[in-house]
Structure 1
Amino acid sequence: MNDGVYVMSEVKSIREAFAEASSFLSRSGCNEPQRSAQLLLEHVLGVSGAAYYMALADPFPAAVKEAFEAGVTRRGAGEPVQYIIGEQEFYGRPFEVTPDVLIPRPETELLVEAILRYGAELWPGGAAARYGGAARPLAAVDIGAGSGAISVTLAAEAPAWRVCAGDISPAALAVAERNALRNGTAVDFRLGDLLEPFTGMETDILVSNPPYIPGEDIAGLQREVRDHEPRTALDGGADGLDPYRRMMEQLTLLPAPPRLIGFELGFGQAEQVAALLAAAGHWTEIITINDLAGIPRHVLGITK
């Protein structure tokens, strides 16, 4: 370790490189140092999974030494490993990530799972909603597209749905569009603030993982999040609930409220977000879903 710069010793094997980098990252205060070292190694070596473990005894290739040192140095300084390698897996699919978008989290997969499950229950045919006898594709809208993790996954898992997604950031939409193409899905991306780009559009399902961190709490976040992820995708106003309130107000932009709505939210916000949905009066059932740590993480409104 030299002023925060990682310089490899004369390591002989990939396994030794992994051990040395893990130790450096641990001393640098990184969370998950071993996982980070493995992801960086897989990236520079061009292998993953079983192929990586089979390669551990192999000599470390000199051709990737500089790239590995640079990646470990960046990670040691607090940059998220996903931005360094440019990728994060979500729902079993690869997603490009850049500093213009939030890194998709595993808990958001539970929101997608719930939307797919309740969507299939509400519309057993899966393909069409009916208004005045006229059939059209089921319309699902994702507010705050980011990397496109939610919308692209919905489009891939429910190809009969018409999936749309909006974001206020042109740079984020560009990333989402590349992810839709990469994963072979058709998503209608629109630039604009929350529900505004979907004014007048019949919407059956509305889903959102909006900014929900109270503004004054951002300074206390992990450095990986605070210093590297886009603030506009984190800051939810004074109490973190501004985007939810505004979306409830903007429901009047739609011809009718969606029959299924689902939000991701922060720690301790479930009761307040559920109360906002209840006060709107559009849904007959309001459900709270815990994440894998048992923390209330998602609130859904359903009209059966």
Structure 2
Amino acid sequence: MTKLKYVYEALNRASSYLQEKGREEGAARILLQHEMGLSYSGLISSMRDEISEQQFERFWTNIESHAKGIPVQHLTGSEEFYGRNFLVNSDVLIPRPETEELIEETLQLIERHLSKKELAIADIGTGSGIIAITLKCELPEAQVVATDISQKALDMAAKNAERLNADIDFRLGDLAEPIEGEKWDVILSNPPYIAYAEAPGLSDSVRDFEPHHALFADNEGLALYEKMAKQFPKMLNKPGIIGFEIGYQQGQAVEKMLKDAFPDALVYSKKDINKNDRMVFALID
């Protein structure tokens, strides 16, 4: 490979290479920022700086890894979510922008419907901890508990909580079982909701590198919603809020589950920025 001297040359070569391999060329910029420890503006202002041979070799190794399908976030070890930086690895689902919309709607519902300052909030299937930690940071007075069936996921979530100074009670167990017998004002969950039959249609970066226990569920992806809808009636305070992230075709089915579980609740679906059904909420008075 011809030796490169400048940062802009490295970026151009990597962008072209990723494009040839059918990957998003923008990943080159993210990986170059990571290698050089620069912000976006810092990278732009450094385009005419020289890049060392060692820096380029490490950068190119990551470019080749991404070309093979390894997610950029696994190579950098982090992802931004709701204005904060979260550590991620192959044990947890990479945070998605759609989940930020779940947070945003929940905060608005809390402001309108729950007047108590010290809320009891539960995050079921926390993964990297993004929902629980974000809510604790946004609502410092809240008591926040997070569960996950994976100890490795909880270990990553605990690291994120420590880095972001969020006091979270993490509990190991299946869905809501670790918090049964307690009462909650808000229960949120972004559970596995992809049907196994959909696996061939997923990008290889998702299908081959993200944890399957955080992606797939039985009964066309609806199994965990069914289980939680049966668990929650004994656990939710009145007034209370339930919020689920869902697959874009699951709105009606998940709405029905919550209406059956909470006949007097206001249950509704909300679309994401791409106009797809992405959240279902239940407001219990």
TM normalised by structure 2 equals 0.96
Q: CA RMSD in A?
A: 1.5
Matched, 1:79 2:70: yes
Rounded to whole Å, the distance in 2 between the matches of 1:139 and 1:104 is: 23
Q: Which residue of 1 aligns with 2:219?
A: 238
1:135-172 residue CA offsets vs partner (Å, 9 max, x unmatched): xx310100010010111000000111111100000000
Matched, 1:291 2:272: yes
Rounded to whole Å, the distance in 2 between the matches of 1:252 and 1:289 is: 22
- Aligned equivalent of 1:28, options 1, 17, 21: 21
Deviation at 1:287, TM superposition (A): 2.2
Deviation at 1:284, TM superposition (A): 2.3
Matched, 1:40 2:31: yes
Deviation at 1:236, TM superposition (A): 1.5
Q: Is the 8 A contact 2:265 2:284 kept in 1?
A: yes
Q: Is the 8 A contact 1:203 1:258 kept in 2?
A: no
Q: Which amino acid aligns with 2:17?
A: F
Aligned residue runs from structure 1 range 161-200, under 5 A: 161-200=142-181
Rounded to whole Å, the distance in 1 between the matches of 2:217 and 2:237 is: 26
Deviation at 1:13, TM superposition (A): 1.4
Rounded to whole Å, the distance in 2 between the matches of 1:196 and 1:238 is: 20
Relative to structure 2, which stretch is displaced further, 244-253 or 65-74? 244-253
Rounded to whole Å, the distance in 2 between the matches of 1:268 and 1:9 is: 49
Matched, 1:14 2:4: no
Q: Is the 8 A contact 2:90 2:210 kept in 1?
A: yes
Matched, 1:301 2:273: no
Over 3 Å counting, the alpha-carbon distance change for 1:47 and 1:265 in structure 2 is: same
Deviation at 1:99, TM superposition (A): 0.2
Q: Is the 8 A contact 2:114 2:239 kept in 1?
A: no
Q: Which residue of 1 aligns with 2:137?
A: 156
Aligned residue runs from structure 1 range 215-294, under 5 A: 215-251=196-232, 254=235, 259-281=240-262, 283-294=264-275
Deviation at 1:10, TM superposition (A): 1.8
Q: Which residue of 2 aligns with 1:49?
A: 40
Rounded to whole Å, the distance in 2 between the matches of 1:38 and 1:301 is: 41
Over 3 Å counting, the alpha-carbon distance change for 1:257 and 1:221 in structure 2 is: farther
Rounded to whole Å, the distance in 2 between the matches of 1:196 and 1:39 is: 39
Matched, 1:141 2:132: no
Q: Which amino acid aligns with 2:16?
A: S
1:60-119 residue CA offsets vs partner (Å, 9 max, x unmatched): 222312211211111010000000100000000000000000000001000001111111
Aligned residue runs from structure 1 range 108-123, under 5 A: 108-123=99-114
Rounded to whole Å, the distance in 2 between the matches of 1:123 and 1:258 is: 7
Q: Is the 8 A contact 2:103 2:131 kept in 1?
A: yes
1:222-246 residue CA offsets vs partner (Å, 9 max, x unmatched): 0000000000000111310001001
Over 3 Å counting, the alpha-carbon distance change for 1:20 and 1:180 in structure 2 is: same
Rounded to whole Å, the distance in 1 between the matches of 2:264 and 2:279 is: 15
Rounded to whole Å, the distance in 2 between the matches of 1:122 and 1:71 is: 47
TM normalised by structure 1 equals 0.90
Q: Which residue of 1 aligns with 2:58?
A: 67
5+ residue gaps in structure 2? none
Q: Is the 8 A contact 1:259 1:283 kept in 2?
A: no
Segments ≥4 residues shifted beyond 4 Å: 255-258
1:15-62 residue CA offsets vs partner (Å, 9 max, x unmatched): 1111110111111121x22x2101110111011121111111211222
